[in-house]
Amino acid sequence: MAMQVGEHDSGEDVPMSDINTTPLVDVMLVLLIIFLITVPVVIQSVPITLPEVRNEPTETKPENVSLTVRGGPGGSCEVYWNLTRVTNEELLDRAVKALEEQIKRVGGVENINEENMPEVHIRGDINTPYKCIGGTVFAMQRAGFQRVGFISQPPPGGHVERL
Asked if residue 162 has pLDDT above 70, the reply is no
* Residue 139 reports pLDDT greater than 80: yes
User: Nearest-CA neighbor of 145 among 100, 80, 106?
Assistant: 100
* The pLDDT of residue 127 is above 70: yes
Strand order in the sheet with 65-71: 84-86, 77-81, 65-71, 120-124, 148-151
The domain segmentation of the chain, as residue ranges, is 65-151
Q: What is the pLDDT of residues 2-41, one digit of tens each?
A: 555 555 566 667 777 788 889 899 999 999 999 888 887 7
What is the pLDDT at residue 17? Answer: 76
Alpha carbons within 13 angstroms on the beta-carbon side of residue 47 total 0
CATH 3.30.70 fits 65-151, yes or no: no
Task: Tell me the pTM.
Answer: 0.59
DSSP element (H, E) containing 68: strand 65-71
